[in-house]
Amino acid sequence: MWILWPEVVENYARHFETGEKLPQEWIDNLDAASTFNEGHATTSYLAAAILDLAWHSLTTEEAAKVTDVEAFEAQAIKDYGLDFAPVPTRYRSTYFSHIFAGGYSAGYYGYIWSEVLDADTVDWFKENGGLQRKNVSTLKILYSAAVDLSIQCRCSAISVGVIQRSSRC
C-alpha cells in the first residue's frame, strides 16, 4: 500500500548502481497486481479464524466429544458458508498449537481485524491529503484518543476512522 505511493516510491525505488528511478510502467504493473489472489488470501484467513473460534466456543465437555477433527473442521467451515472447493481450508487445527498453548485463545480473527484497521488508516490519509507532517501529528493525537476511548468503552480496538467519524464506540 504505502510502498507504491509516489511520495514514497520516488525516494527509494532506484537502481542500485545507476540511481535510475523505477520506470512508471513497472510501478503501474506492481500496483495492478497488488490485489491478485486477495480473495483467496482473505477467505483462507477467515477460515482459520472460524476454526479458531469454533474450537474455543466449545465447552470442555463438547470438546471431549470431538473424535473426528477433520469432520469438526469441515462442519465449522460449512456452518459459516466458507466450504468453497476452489479455496480449501489451508490451516488445520494442528496449526493452532500456539493458540492452544495459551494467550491467543479465539484471537486469530485479530489478524483480519488488523488489516481492517490498516485499510481504515490508509483511507484516512488519502482523505486528508496523504503523507504530510500535519497528518502524522493528527494521527498521533487520534491514536492517543483511541487508546483512551478504548479503555473507557472497553473496546478491544478502535481505528482512526472510528475516532474521526464517531464520538463513542
Other CB atoms within 10 Å distance of the CB of residue 167:
7
**Domain definitions of the chain by residue range:** 2-33, 38-107, 110-165
Q: How far is CA 98 from CA 39, 58, 104, in A?
A: 26, 18, 7
Asked if 35 and 1 count as a contact pair (C-beta separation under 8 A), the reply is no
Tens digits of pLDDT across the chain (169 residues): 678 888 888 888 889 999 999 999 999 999 999 889 888 888 888 888 888 889 888 999 999 999 999 999 999 999 988 888 887 788 888 777 766 666 666 677 777 878 888 888 888 888 888 888 898 888 788 777 766 655 555 554 455 555 555 444 4
